[in-house]
């Protein structure tokens, strides 16, 4: 497992998701890359893992090293209910706490999106925003808002335009990095990438 340090105490890796299947129609709910992004953050009270997915057993040594350096306390956070992934196994291995969707810990600020079935997480110390499914990597770099079919299961009938409006308050944050689950992260000038995604036609 290749864990990349992005800022002091901030790490990201990708792992193939076992539920991925090839051949999904473009922009359908099943249309996402096979490797998903995962985040680890050294908060004041221990290591926080967001949407962790492990690549089978060979992922444990890298995660063991992070826990040894920044633990022993471990908390597992989830951005959206579909991202349970390896969270339960991780919490069991390290005696950690698996918090509910959208929960926060000191130094990690949850940002719930009303009616969108997701909570983003803001890490003010490293100016990083962590997204689940509502912001994804765009082809060629940058960000985009998730396609409409990803929202159609919501009972409130949320549209992409309405989702953009609910994401717009994020522009008030001094975002430098945007760590997405699907696609490539934005590692510089995240505020501009976010504005571009929200202003796209």
- Cα 39-160-52 angle, rounded to 5 deg: 15
142-193 pLDDT tens trace: 999 999 999 999 998 899 999 999 999 999 999 999 999 999 999 999 999 9
Residue 130's pLDDT band, with cuts at 50, 70 and 90, is very high
74-104 pLDDT tens trace: 999 999 999 999 999 999 999 988 887 878 7
pLDDT at 72 over 80: yes
Delimit the domains of the chain by residue range. Answer: 4-199
Contacts 24+ apart (CB under 8 A), 102-111: 102/78, 103/77, 104/77, 105/43, 105/45, 105/48, 105/75, 105/77, 106/43, 106/44, 106/45, 107/41, 107/43, 107/44, 107/45, 107/48, 108/41, 108/43, 108/48, 108/77, 111/170
* Structure tokens belonging to residue 157: 């009938």
Percent of the chain whose predicted confidence (pLDDT) is above 70: 99
- The per-residue pLDDT for 17 is 87
Give the chain's mean pLDDT: 93
Residue 57's pLDDT band, with cuts at 50, 70 and 90, is low
pLDDT at 42 over 70: yes
* Residue whose structure tokens are 């997405």: 180
Among 1.10.1840.10, 3.90.78.10, 3.60.15.10, 3.30.70.1400, name the CATH number for the domain at 4-199. Answer: 3.60.15.10
Higher local confidence (pLDDT), 22 or 55: 22
Residue 1's pLDDT band, with cuts at 50, 70 and 90, is confident
* Residue whose structure tokens are 């100016």: 127
- The per-residue pLDDT for 103 is 81
Determine the average pLDDT of the residues in 111-116.
95
């Amino acid at each position: 497992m290749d864990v990349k340090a992005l800022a002091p105490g901030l790490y990201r890796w990708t792992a193939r998701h076992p539920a991925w299947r090839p051949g999904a129609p473009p922009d359908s709910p099943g249309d996402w890359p096979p490797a998903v992004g995962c985040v680890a953050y050294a908060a004041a009270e221990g290591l926080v893992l967001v949407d962790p997915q492990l690549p089978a057993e060979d992922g444990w040594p890298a995660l063991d090293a992070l826990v040894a350096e920044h633990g022993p306390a471990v908390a597992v956070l989830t951005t959206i209910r579909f991202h349970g992934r390896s969270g339960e196994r991780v919490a069991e291995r390290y005696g950690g706490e698996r918090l509910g969707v959208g929960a926060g810990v000191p130094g990690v600020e949850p940002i719930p999106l009303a009616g969108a079935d997701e909570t983003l997480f803001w890490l003010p110390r490293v100016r990083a925003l962590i997204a689940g499914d509502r912001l994804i990597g765009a082809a060629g770099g940058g960000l985009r808002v998730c396609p409409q079919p990803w929202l159609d299961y919501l009972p409130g009938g949320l549209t992409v335009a309405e989702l953009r409006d609910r994401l717009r308050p994020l522009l008030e944050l001094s975002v430098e990095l945007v760590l997405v689950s699907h696609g490539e992260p934005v590692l510089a000038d995240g505020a501009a990438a976010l504005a571009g995604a929200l202003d796209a036609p």
